Amino acid sequence: MGIQHISANKINADDDIFIRQVTPQVIPDWLHAGVTDIHLGGRASLFYGIIFAAVGVIIHSIFAENYWLLAGTTTGFFLLGPFLAMGLYDLSRRMEAGEAPVLAPTLYAWLPNLINITLFTMLLILVFFAWTRLSMTIFAHYFNGALPTFADVVINVFTFKQPTFLFVYFSAGAIFAAFIFSISVIAMPLMLDRNASAWTAAITSLRTCARNPVTMALWAFCIVVLVGFGLATNFLGLILTMPVVGHASWHVYRDLVEVRN
């Protein structure tokens, strides 16, 4: 796999964090590990997939007639994914340690590092609200201040009637998603596994992405594809795709970060 160890700068005196460099060839291994963990985790893994799918259905039901708001809340919901997948990280961690895949302990896995995980989650929530508000603003601006119907949105997407709207909307969404991905892809598993501070976890995640830009960009693309498939299947596909992403993300962390103290 060609893994190289590169020492990260110490954030705190007690931290000794090593970031590995990996090639994109490791991505299929991460996906395979995610699928394997679903098989081993059984109902515990599928429980989290069902939760993701159910929340997606609820959001769609509430905002079904307000497509300008539905787009922002649906995509924004997945910005909270790093926290919502905490139970899946913990399930993978427990199975890795040879423990039985039991659901109950994973439901409160965040308690040992409550303050830091709460702080990080508050940041995710702030970004969620910021994106939802920006999404509404972009829709209102490009539809002359009037909130569009579903037909308006479909026409614009498939006929490129307003290519500027599409470019601005998806570019803005990509920026928000890239920010969340870069600070959280390693952060949540690290806080869960090592009780790291929110600052240390976020900086380590950023440094990991900086050391592995191509691999992490391709991994982000894989996440987009898996989430997109789940959305395209009226959220039902999320029952499987979100556990794959969650479990695989644990293995991403384990392959890329080593903490010695």
Where do the domains of the chain lie?
32-259
pLDDT at 142 over 80: no
pTM as predicted: 0.85
Q: What angle do CA 253, 76, 56 make, to 5 degrees?
A: 95
Which burial class, exposed, middle or buried, applies to 236 when counting CB atoms under 10 A from its CB (0-12, 13-18, 19+)? middle
Q: What angle do CA 45, 49, 50 make, to 5 degrees?
A: 115
Amino acid identity, position 250? W
Residue 198 contacts residue 119 (beta carbons within 8 Å)? yes
CB atoms within 10 A of CB 223: 20
**Least confident stretch, 129-138, 150-159, 186-195, 219-228:** 150-159
Q: Which residues pair with 257 in a beta bridge?
A: 19
The reported pLDDT for the residue numbered 60 is: 82
Share in percent of the chain as helix, strand, coil (round to 5): 75, 5, 20
pLDDT at 247 over 90: yes
How far is it between the farthest Cα atoms of the chain?
58
* 1-36 confidence digits (pLDDT tens): 445 554 444 444 345 788 999 999 999 999 999 999
